[in-house]
Structure formats: structure tokens, C-alpha cells
Structure 1
């Protein structure tokens, strides 16, 4: 029998996974939902729905497969909401876009070719779009520090110190300082009531507008797949685990659909926080690490109870303060996206064009900049990679016939792909 410390180790790792995942980005979620038209109550409802649906999804996947599969809300997707802003049709149209995202993720599980289309987008263009989307929110600490230095300086200093000594806790600590300042001023001014801390769902009848579908749902789906689901599979593979792709997409698609009318924007595989539950820090025995992810699922359900109070604190915050803390939490993600966008000299121009269009915030025909950024990047990429032929040259140069490959002596066994049901109980 394992000693007590070893039995508790995955439980503690699961609690850390949930706390880091929640505290480092819930402010980004609330800012994104408010940006696309949610009231404070509707944003609080969205945060509650996200906690419940991702917690329930984690519990199902970990119990069924006994692997440390963790889910998360789409933090880059929430940043996309901030950069997109209000859509044609208002909050009901945004909720309709969330439903479309859930349907697209579910369709990815049923028809893997859809995921292949997303994967066909050149990685520098996808990373550049993400970087342009994040830039708006990552500029908030700079602007807020200039506007209200006495309020924002302690947040920035806390983040910087923790970034040096305990990087994992830098963003949560900065947000904790932010909420402490807001809580003190709100209680002292009597702007908060105990009833604000009662969690409740605020359901919205979804509406569909083509502008919201094209300008919000499509970019949100692409960002969720390219920056969360695909990296999530890679992170799990790095620790020796295979993700049951079809079932994971089915669960996250259904979870997104279930939470959409309550304000949840997207549920996906965890990428960064996945390592906290799947790594050796969770437990030396890989077969026991699923307990860490399972514990994180229960922890998210507990955190859901406190989501309304935290949302009320955020709503009572001075303008720009919470956005500054949210921007600090995304600095590392922005840096990784920029590095991925310009790492290869070939095609760098297409990535830069994508970044500029996404960061511009330009709205054309009611469609946000993220969608146009993808189109612009793909157009430049196509122009720069098309082959040029001298005038009068044959359309297809003559080539010597290639020798046929040798026949295999045994029947080949292809490597299973993430889209196949490869996960099994140990």
C-alpha cells in the first residue's frame, strides 16, 4: 500500500491544477463576456456554467479512461471576445455563436476532416492571429498603470516578484492583490451585498446572425482548436498518454453546447494546466496521476459556488484594474504566440500581416478583425508560395520516373492518430 504522502500527492496536485487554472484566467473570461454584451449577472452565469461543465467533463473522462485528462475554458477564446467586442445582434447573437462553436467541435468528433482543415492553416498564421487578439488585452496593464498608478502598481509589482520566485503563481497572486484592493473599496463603500455572492444561472435564448457566426464563432472555433485542443494532445503525448480524440471532442462539444445558453463560450482540452496533473509532480506512478485530474474536476465544481462572488468583485472594480491583471496573465501566452508566428523566415510576411489585421480591431460588414486576419494571412501566404514559371516554360517540368517502393515483407501497422479511440484502461 502506498504511504499516506503518496496517496495525498495527486490530490494536492489536482487542487493546484484547478486553482491555477481558475485564478489565472477567470478575469479574462469575465472581461470577454462583458465585451460581447453580457451584463454582470450574465457574465457571472457564464463563469458558473464554464466551471460546472468543464468539471463534469473532467470527472467523466478521468473515471472512464483512468488517464489525467483535464479540460479548461478557452482562455485565448475569451481574449478573442475582448478584441471582437459587441457583435451584430448583441448578447443573444453572441450566445448563438457559442452554440455554433459547440456544434462545430461536436462535428469535429463525428467528421475528423473538419479538424484537418483547421490543422491545414499554417501554424505561423494561427499563432499570429492569436498574438494579434491577445495584444489588446496585454496592453491594458501599460495603459492602466499610466492612468491609475497607485492602484495598478502593486498588482504589477506582485506579478513581477512572483514571476521571479514562483512563476506558476504570478498571475493568481496579481489577481488576488487586485481583488483585495477591489474588495476593500467595495465593502467600505457599501457597493456589494451578500446576495451578489449567490450563484445563479441566467439563461439567454440564442439568436443567429451571419456576422456573429462568421466574425465570432468561426475565429473562436479556430482559436480553440489551434491553441488549446491540438496543443493539449501534444502535452499529454509528451507524458506518455494518448487522448481519446473522438470522445474528448464529443465531451467538450456537448459541454460547450450545454453551457452556451447560460453564457459559457467554449470548453476544450487543457494545454498549459494539463502538465500539472499529467506530469511526474502529480505522482511518480503514471497510472495514479488520473487521480490528480479527477480531483481537479471536483475542485472546479466547488469553485463554481464562489464564482458569483468573484464576478461581483470584478464588476465593482475601478475601470481598467481587472483588465490589467488579466493582461499580465496573458503575457507569457502572447510571447509564445509571437515566437511561433515569426520563428521561420519563410512565410514571415504572411504572419506579420495576420498579426497586424488581428491587432487592428477593424470591423468590416459587421465582421470582426480576427476573421479578416485569417483571410489576409492565407491570401498573402498563397501569393508568396505560388510557383513562378518563366514565360514559355512547360507547365510541368520533365522528371525521371521514380522507382516504385519495395514491397513490405510484413503487413504494416500504422501509428494510431489522435482521432482514433486509442485510450484504454491500464
Structure 2
């Protein structure tokens, strides 16, 4: 039996079911797509051919009444579910009080409360400070600013397959050319790249992979020039690459020994997504700076840099901020999101989802040699698809499976430097039966993709 979840606080229930009442896309979505084509810049692309009308729990309902199972969470944003009741209630109350004063002009308690919460939630028991911004890219960019101010050095190292954003500096940090960088240069200087640990592709243990990366950095950059090392504990757009055990701790140790700021970009991995509050916890590492965004505020734009007090406070007064950074509505949503994570046990729920989905994906791998790798943690999982004979990336198969699943009412995202990775980011509010049904559709999509 389909379950229901509140669409909004005190509002009607949204039935948790996959329901197709028209073809995908339906007529109303096609009308809106035609309007989009003449009103919205061509460079803004969309994954699904439908337009959303409502969302909650584990479904997105489109303007034609189709109910789609959501395995994307708006790219890991609606971790607690879209329109989570506590978030809706908190946002409504804040809107009624005030929408904006600018924290740099007239501060308010919500900003301070979010900073306190993140100081407590991020790895490590050292004294911390937090600054709030709007997007993940803005958070990463400010982390680099802070690291440069603290170290009085200029160089920054990012890694192969990395994705850190679309601003000029974060495009420089991002590895993939299309669609993120092509035609947008020149990029910010003093950004260098090192090889990451990619067990499926390089076969190296974590310590060996770290030695390779460190050797590259020492030869090509020089520790005396290096302000920060920026890395995703699990790479996102680059293919949900989980580094081999020992890779991250070895890099942290090297940074400590050489006065380099270790920045963990937890934009996609943070806030319960991987079965811990932050993915860094899986390796037992304590970053100097942590960037949080996507899952932080239940769908509202908010990001943060949290880190060691002596590093965060190295920036001169007035050197950090922005008109909308830490907007009071987004702060209210963040506090409600963090409360929901705690009260509903969503860290454990992410781990449960991980076990459930991984078992199904490994069963698929056992019977389909095109599934080269199954990886991820918690509710951040992926399969890498390859040619069984050559092990070369198979982007065409990946696209075909995703398109087939979407046509049957399941939102599936792709990623990877070679475009050959299917990624799964269900909201942690998704009912188990709905998750199983989505995986049934995925199985059928694989069977049909010959």
C-alpha cells in the first residue's frame, strides 16, 4: 500500500507512489518546455523533461499529475525530504518575522545558532568558527581565501576528477572540461592538480596513492608555496569515487607536517548523506576547514565554512561576508533541518539505505558484467558502467539506462568524468517499498538496454 507524507505543515498528504497518468513528458510539461526554450538561456540545461508541481517524502509530482520516484534529491539537497514539515514551519515563521536585514548590518540569532550547530557537528573537538555564504562554490572559494590569509601562501591543489563549482576560482579547481569549463577561461591562477585515489581504475592502496599525489605536489608546486589542499572525501560529479582506505589520513598527516590547510569539500557528502554526519568521519580524519552546503538547509540556499578558530580568525575584519550570506530564512531552514536529522535518526537511516541499495546493486553486478563497479557510502551510491571486454567507460549505456528509468517514472542522475556513472541520492525520507520499486525499474532498464 502506498504511504503518505505531509506535503506541507498542516497541509494535505502527498501519496508515496510511482504513478504515470500521461507519457513522460506530458502535455503541460511540453507546453512549459516550449516557453523555457524562448525565455531561459540555452546554457541552463535540465535533466528531466517534466516540470515539478509538488514534492515530498520520496516523490516528485509533475504538472501533469505524474508521480516520480526521486533518486536525486535535487543533487543531494533535499536530504530530509522536500517540504519537510519542520522546515516548512520554521521558514513560514521566519518569513512572517523578517526576510532580510543583512547579517553584516543588523545581525540576528539564527546565523549565530547555525554557526554554533556546525561548530559542534563538524569533525574534531577543537575550538571552531563558522562563516555562512550562499552556495557550495562560494563556500569553497571562501575556504581558499581563508587558507591563503592564514598561510600567506598562494598555491592551491585540487585533484583529478574533482568538482568544486562554477565560479571562476572553483572552475579552476574543477577537473572536467565539459560542460563546466569549456570556453570560460582564463581561470584563476595558482591552482594545481594531483592524482586522486581511484581504486577501480588505479588499483592502488591508499598509502601508495597518497605517496603518488604528494610526490606530484612536492615536485610541481612545492610545499613552501602551498596554502591549501582541497578535496572531496567522496568525489561527487567526478563519479562518486571513494578513495582507498588510508589515502585521506596520509594527506592530512602530510598537510599537518608542512603547514598546509586541509580543506574538506563536504558540499555533497555532508549532513548525514553518507551514513555519518560528515564523510570525513569514515576515515577518522579531522579537516582544518569543512565546507557544507547542499543538504544543510532543506532546499534553501545556504553554505558554510567551518574550521579551526586560529585559521578562520586569520582574516581581517570585514574580509568575509556578502549581502545574502546566512539569510535568516535559510538559517531557520537549516536549524529545522539539523533538528530533523537528529530527531528522525537520519544518520542511521542513510546507513540503512546504503545497505539496502548496495545489496541490490551488487546483485545486478553479479548478473550483468557491464556493471564494472559498485561504490559509495550510505545514501550516496553509484555504479560505473563499462564495456565488459575492454573495461572502457560506457557513457552510451549509462545514458540509455537513465533515460529508460526516467521514462518509467524514476529520477536517476548520471555523473563521472567519462559520463559512465549512474548515481543514487534518494532523500532519507523515502519509504523502503518505494526505494525497492525504483530499483526494480532500474533492473528492467538494464535488461532492456542491449
Query: For this structure pair, what is the TM-score category when the shorter chain's length is used for normalisation?
Result: under 0.3
Bigger Rg over Cα: 1
Q: Greater relative contact order (Cα 8 A, min sep 6): structure 1 or 2? A: 1
Relative to its length, the structure with more strand (as a share) is 2
TM-score by length of 2: 0.24
